[in-house]
């Protein structure tokens, strides 16, 4: 495994294998750092995980979900 959890301005790097085994811990580390992390598979870049702004998603998604659920009744 080649985890580099990032230091200073260096972004963290995780492998897909690490994500499969330690998803919750890795997501928590990325959220705590406030910085994006690179994801690799077999040494090749495949994705970036960007931490969310606190409350940013919930404040936008919950009202929409509530409206959608209200249409079902």
Q: What is the pLDDT of residues 52-62, one digit of tens each?
A: 776 666 677 77
- Class of CATH domain 12-71: alpha beta
pLDDT score recorded for residue 1? 41
24 pLDDT band, cuts 50/70/90, is very high
Higher pLDDT, 2 or 51: 51
Mean pLDDT computed over 25-46: 93
51 pLDDT band, cuts 50/70/90, is confident
Mean pLDDT computed over 21-46: 94
What Å distances lie between residue 19 and 12, 26, 63, 66, CA to CA?
Answer: 13, 7, 31, 32
């Amino acid at each position: 495994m080649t985890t580099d959890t990032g230091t200073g301005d260096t972004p963290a790097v995780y492998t897909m294998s690490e994500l499969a085994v330690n998803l919750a811990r890795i997501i928590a580390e990325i959220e705590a750092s406030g910085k994006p992390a690179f994801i690799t598979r077999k040494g090749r870049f495949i994705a970036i995980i960007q931490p969310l702004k606190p409350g940013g998603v919930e404040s936008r998604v919950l009202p929409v979900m509530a409206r959608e659920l209200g249409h079902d009744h």
